Chain A
């Protein structure tokens, strides 16, 4: 019986546990069901005030017609803490709006934020190409964001 228990424990560890260990101690592996862990996570919790502030600032941008989606998701086994935006723009093509929105989130009190995904539909109905912004410490572009937009006002 001891061997079988050891077998299950060891092989489970070998097969999958490595995949769900997060070095930041966020316990993502213990967050089954992809549940929103924002309330339990360190940071701004439900972040209602912070999201409202971001919304207000984004809506003030001259090229923003309307925000369709503004959500903050907690970390899941398949994604980090994410801020997700979908925006109808007034202009056509890439006007640099995604960078402006990312800057607002970078400089906001929202935390933790690992990833920001911004989808913009221009006034012609086309999707403006934009890749996720990786805000994690140590990410390839972190230093560049810090250089352009200053340090994040809050950790994570």
Chain B
């Protein structure tokens, strides 16, 4: 492999070796303990039944001494101080202890999460109150700063702007958790800005304590919460070299996704394009759907045509339906994927929509989503993925986009989050797909159990390391 060194993997959470999987293993152990204790109790009862056996009792006349000796031994082994019954009680107590520890850990996790949500909410409120309180000072400081700024030459102004952006980017890279907390405070900020917020209903009942999701839902509603879409197939697009070959690694998946992402880089009329790769091995077919991210980053969508715009981002963060998501579903139906095994691979918004679709029961009725791979996507808003779907989420340190869900990804046994560090002070640049190709290659080379189990599962399911690509279809999704 050429082209330099791989980025270090900073952390791996969730998956088969994650905390939740650990809890499940501990509960499975407790269950085994309980079964063992049950077996012991049954065996103890068996001992008493054996001693009460009529034939055995009759035979005691032949050798009363040895019968009495055997009786003592059996009773001692079953109901004695070190007998099975006592041991069963001890094992049962161990099982209870294990269950209690797991329950305590889970309660502690939940309490910690709830406390963090409350703290972040309060932080958001404080942000507003603090800003209002400090407004005169901020205005004065702003005025002085602007006066100084206007005395600079255009080159110096550019240098100053670059320096400020660089410093902010470096701060984000060094302290991503701070950015995450500030974003998670969006709900509290929202409550401060909108009095009577509790009366609003963004779709899932009145707002109690506003969250980032509530803020995103309200923004989506402000923009119209449009979900109408158009889908049509784009002909005459040859698959790239990477897409012509069945992927052999996570890095290969990212390279093919990168190629899909480039489709509209020199041809804006292809915005909203996704690609579907058909892989066949031993007569079995499976499909990889490559789903790129945001085309139009304007806070208020520009032309109402792009499906991959900020409205879709707000909808996805808020857990709502989107034109992009519905369009992808229709494109997959049009491509003949109904009832088929599929893997969804997405970058940025593409990863958000992939995760959201995989958790959507309606989508799951049409397709068997076995795997999801996301790169640089906020996905914590999808709290629970079905057990039949495995997901691996890649996040580059210094990339702000995966932080936009405001919290860590859920720790599920079928869901692994891989954080690697190829970040610099260039916040925008840290989000680029090429970093995720490198991050995926680092995961391919990793010995981490959760990552390796994910890769092994993908191989067993026929998505990595074998088969022949028999076609790549391209579909375009626009707003209807």
Contacts and interface: CB of A to CB of B under 8 A. Distances in A.
Q: Answer yes or no: do A and B interact.
A: yes
A23 B299 contact: no
Interface in B408-424: 422, 424
Counting chain A residues whose Cβ lies within 8 A of the other chain, the interface size class is 35 or more
B427 A22 contact: yes
A28 B435 CA distance: 17
B258 A117 contact: yes
- Residue picked from A13, A28, A126, most chain B C-beta under 10 Å: A28
Given A7-B193, A11-B186, A34 B241 contact: no
B438 A132 contact: yes
Contacts of A117: 255, 258, 434
A25 B3 contact: no
B429 interface: yes
B199 to A, nearest CB: 15
Nearest to B313: A16
Given A32-B295, A34-B264, A117-B258, A79 B215 contact: no
A17 interface: yes
Contacts of B182: 14
Interface in B171-219: 172, 179, 182-183, 186, 189-190, 193-194, 212, 215-216, 218-219
Contacts of B472: none
Contacts of B242: 119, 127
Contacts of A118: 3
Nearest to A129: B1
Interface in A47-80: 68-69, 71, 73-74, 76-80
B215 A23 contact: no
A135 B429 CA distance: 12
B426 interface: yes
A84 to B, nearest CB: 6
B3 A133 contact: yes
B169 A23 contact: yes
A73 B426 contact: no
Contacts of A15: 183, 186, 212, 215-216, 219, 313-314, 317, 404
B140 interface: no
Interface string B417-453: 0000010111111011111011001000000000000
A109 interface: no
B305 to A, nearest CB: 9
A19 B438 contact: no
B144 to A, nearest CB: 23
Interface residues of B, number: 77
Contact of B189 (A10, A138, A140): A10
B434 A33 contact: no
A8 B219 contact: yes
A78 B3 contact: no
B294 interface: yes
B274 interface: no
B310 interface: yes
Interface in B358-401: 399-401
A71 B4 contact: no
A18 B427 CA distance: 7
Interface in A19-45: 19-26, 28-36
B310 A33 contact: no
22 contacts: A4-B194, A4-B222, A10-B189, A11-B219, A14-B182, A15-B404, A18-B172, A18-B179, A22-B428, A23-B165, A25-B162, A34-B264, A36-B265, A79-B262, A84-B262, A86-B241, A114-B429, A114-B434, A117-B434, A119-B255, A132-B437, A144-B4
Q: Which 4 A-B pairs have the closest CB atoms?
A: A22-B428, A141-B4, A23-B165, A12-B299
Interface of A: 3-4, 6-26, 28-36, 68-69, 71, 73-74, 76-80, 82, 84, 86, 94, 96, 98-99, 102, 114-115, 117-121, 126-127, 129-134, 136, 138-141, 144
Given A25-B158, A134-B4, 14 more contacts: A11-B190, A19-B297, A21-B427, A32-B306, A35-B268, A76-B265, A78-B293, A78-B347, A79-B432, A98-B2, A117-B258, A119-B255, A131-B441, A144-B4
Interface of B: 1-5, 7, 158, 161-162, 165-166, 168-169, 172, 179, 182-183, 186, 189-190, 193-194, 212, 215-216, 218-219, 222, 240-242, 245, 251, 255, 258, 261-262, 264-266, 268, 271, 292-299, 302, 306, 310, 313-314, 317, 347-348, 399-401, 404, 422, 424-429, 431-435, 437-438, 441
